[in-house]
A = this chain, B = another copy of it.
């Protein structure tokens, strides 16, 4: 595990929520768990752009922050299911609001994001 050298700011609500949601796949994990995809292999299939290893790490952090629980069934082959805690469930409307804004502004967002990426590569060509 990696021990932080710079302690996070925990001054206001924005700091606090940032601390538990900051992580490339965390919001998606919460979203899919809420949709009923509970098992690690299911979640991996829903999020194929990263590996199980990475998902495990982020799931563990979500668990330590008490947003999800992990239930282990003593069967073979092993079976594990994640669920949202009551606390985690209260986050769903917030995530929903994020996704809604993104969906409503999808076209514009895609444009400005891609435009910025193009600027990056252009600068790279110039500097070489």
Chain A residues engaging chain B, CB cutoff 8 angstroms: 1-4, 7-10, 12-20, 27-28, 31, 49, 61, 64-66, 87, 90-91, 93-95, 97-106, 108-110, 112-117, 119-121, 123-124
Contact = CB atoms under 8 A, between A and B. Distances in A.
Contacts of A124: 1, 3
Contacts of A110: 10, 16
Main secondary structure of the interface of A (DSSP, over half): helix
B98 A94 contact: yes
Contact of A13 (B3, B8, B103, B119): B103
A110 B101 CA distance: 28
Contacts of A31: 14
